[in-house]
A = this chain, B = another copy of it.
Amino acid sequence: MKEKVVLAYSGGLDTTVIIPWLKENYNYDVICCCIDCGQKEELEGLRERARLSGASKVYIENVIDEFCEDYIVPCVQANAIYENKYLLGTSMARPVIAKKLVEIARKEHASAICHGATGKGNDQIRFELGIKALAPDLKIIAAWRDKKWNMDSREAEIEYCKQHNVFLPFEVAESYSRDRNLWHISHEGLDLECPENEPNYDKLLVLTTPPTKAPDTPEYVTMTFEKGIPISINGKEMKISKIIEKLNELGGKHGIGIIDIVENRVVGMKSRGVYETPGGTILMEAHQQLEELILDRETYHAKKEMADKFAELVYEGKWFSPLREAIQAFIESTQEYVTGEVKFKLYKGSIIKAGTSSPYSLYNESLASFTTGDLFDHHDADGFITLFGLSTKVRAMKLMEASKEEALCGQQI
C-alpha cells in the first residue's frame, strides 16, 4: 500500500498542479483537503477538480465557526493589529488550517503534509510551525521549495498539468495574489508592487465599495459584547460568524476597512499589500471602544503592549506556542467585565463614534460630577502632585546645587 500525503488544497492552479507532481515525484496517494474558513465562491467545483487531477480522496471541511470562536475572538479581545494596521486576516486562518490538516493526516494515517505556499512568504512558516507543533513526527513537503520542483510560471504549471493528463480550464492571465476568508481579503502583486503607485480601488476591491462611491447617507450600527465576545448586532443576537458576515455587508457597503500597507514579513523583506476587512475593522474598533470605558488605566496600557506581542506571534505563525497561550490567558482575564453596547455611524470609509455604555463602566455620571463628593477633593491633588513630582523637584534641586558647587570650585581654582 502506498503512503499517503495530505495536501492543503485550494482548488486553484497552484495547488492543483501539486497533485500530479506529488504522485510522480513521491509516489504518494494524495488526499486533498480544502479547509473552508469562509472563502466563498472559490469552493465551487473544487471536489471534482481535485478528483480529475488525481486526488485519491477529497475533504472539504467547514471550519468557519471554529475559526471565529477560537482564532478570531482571541484576536479581537486582544485588539491584535500587526504594525498598526493589519488585522491578521490571513495569519489567523493558517493555524486552524494546519490543525485540520494534522487531524486529517492522523485519521488517514498519512505520513506527510504538503502545502503550496511560496518560499518568500509568511504562510509557509505559519503552516509549517503549526504542523511542527502539533505533529512533529510528520514529514512536511513545501512543494515550491522542493528540490524536485521546477515550475516557475503559470504557463509551466499548465503545461505540466497537460503532460499529466489534467485538462482543466485554468486562466493564464496574471492577477493579484489574493487570500480570502470570512474575516478579510488581501491583495498583493502587479501594480501594488511599487509603493509609489496609488491603488486603483475601483478595479481592486472585492468586499468593499470605494469610499468615494459609498452611499451618501450614513448608517448606524449597534453592537453588544459580553465578556469581550460579540453577541448581537442592532439588537439581534447571532453567532459570531453571522455577526461578522453582517458587519462585512454593512462595512463593505460604506467603504470601511481598506488598508494599504508596506509590512515587514517574517522572512526579512518588506511587502506591500491592500487588505479589505470591512466587518473586522468595525468589530475591533467597537471592542476597543468598549474597553476604553471599562478597563482601568494600567490594565489598558499593559494590554496594549500585550496586543502588539500577540499580533507579532500570530503574524509569525507561532499560534501553537506556549507564549501565545500565556498571552491569551492574560487577555481573557481582562475581559471579565467587557460587557456593554457600542454604537457607530458608518459613512464613506469613516467609523464615527455614536455612544457607548456598559454596566461596568468606570466612567459614569455620578463620577463625572463629584465636584464636592467624598471620592475626590480638589485639595487631594495638592498631596498627589507633591509626591508625583517629588523626584522631579529633588533632582532639579540636586542639579542646581551640584552646578553651584562646580561653579564655586571653578572660582576657587
Contacts and interface: CB of A to CB of B under 8 A. Distances in A.
Contacts of A397: 136-137
Interface of A: 83-84, 118-120, 124-125, 128-129, 132-137, 142, 144-145, 147, 152, 193-199, 211-212, 218, 255, 258, 260-264, 266-272, 288, 292-293, 295-305, 308-309, 312-313, 318, 320-323, 325-334, 336-337, 343, 345, 347-350, 352-357, 359-365, 367-369, 371, 375-400, 402, 405
Contact of A375 (B133, B195, B393): B393
A384 B301 CA distance: 21
Contacts of A362: 270, 391, 394-395, 398
A121 to B, nearest CB: 9
B349 A83 contact: no
Contact of A389 (B268, B271, B288): B268
A390 B376 CA distance: 8
Contacts of A118: 378
Contacts of A380: 119, 382-383, 386-387
Contacts of A378: 118-120, 144-145
A296 B394 CA distance: 10
Contacts of A255: 350
Contacts of A369: 193
A295 to B, nearest CB: 7
A392 B196 contact: no
Nearest to A357: B196
Contacts of A354: 198
A334 B322 CA distance: 7
Nearest to A85: B292
B129 A388 contact: yes
A270 B330 contact: no
Contacts of A367: 269-270, 394
Given A288-B84, A305-B308, A359-B402, A269 B365 contact: no
A247 B17 CA distance: 53
A350 B210 CA distance: 11
A334 B326 CA distance: 6
Given A264-B297, A348-B211, A362-B270, A385 B333 contact: no
Contacts of A211: 347-348, 350, 352
B298 A323 contact: yes
Nearest to A256: B350
Given A211-B347, A269-B394, A386 B385 contact: no
